[in-house]
């Protein structure tokens, strides 16, 4: 199967020595290479992000549904919701990828943006743990 344009663009955008940190709007858990990932249950934690969370460049990418699903699947999310946030600490980038078959709801964007800003979902600490793990590699 030929890689989609969005998958190629994301691979180039996020090319780095560390894998991308992934978050999706589904409430499912997946295993990722080194940093792990989690699904979003919809509610963010009331805990603030880590004090030393880096400022990440946030990119918003609209993609055809099949390409959005392929990009998220290639990076570890097999069944994303309407959007997924892909974080790369090495490059200090966070891409919010959403499906282009419907407008991205403001609530979805704001939720994914909060992941880019270091916030975890309610009852979880995946962002915090991924950040701490990445710092240990530096």
Question: Measured in whole angstroms, how far is the alpha carbon of residue 58 from the centre of its chain?
Answer: 11
Tokens standing for 13?
A: 């955008």
Tell me the pTM: 0.72
Contact 37, 76 (CB under 8 A): yes
Tokens standing for 53?
A: 């969370």
CA dist., res. 37 & res. 73, Å (int): 12
Q: In a structure prediction context, what are the per-residue pLDDT tens digits for the chain, which is 138 residues long?
A: 345 666 666 666 666 544 444 554 432 222 222 233 333 446 888 899 999 999 999 999 888 888 888 777 765 555 567 888 888 899 999 988 888 888 889 998 998 899 899 998 888 787 888 899 999 999
Backbone phi and psi for residue 84, each to the nearest 5 degrees, phi listed first? -140, 145
């Amino acid at each position: 199967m030929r890689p989609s344009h969005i998958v190629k663009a994301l691979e180039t955008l996020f090319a780095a020595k560390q894998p991308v940190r992934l978050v999706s709007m589904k409430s499912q858990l997946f295993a990722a290479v080194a940093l792990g990932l989690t699904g979003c249950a919809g509610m963010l934690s009331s805990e603030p992000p880590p004090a030393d969370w880096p400022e990440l460049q946030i990119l918003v990418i609209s993609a055809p549904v099949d390409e959005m699903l392929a990009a998220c699947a290639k990076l570890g999310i097999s069944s994303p919701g309407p959007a997924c946030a892909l974080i790369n600490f090495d490059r200090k980038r966070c891409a919010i990828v959403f499906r282009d078959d419907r407008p991205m709801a403001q609530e979805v964007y704001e939720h994914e943006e909060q992941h880019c800003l270091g916030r975890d979902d309610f009852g979880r600490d995946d962002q915090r743990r991924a950040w701490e793990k990445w710092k240990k590699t530096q």
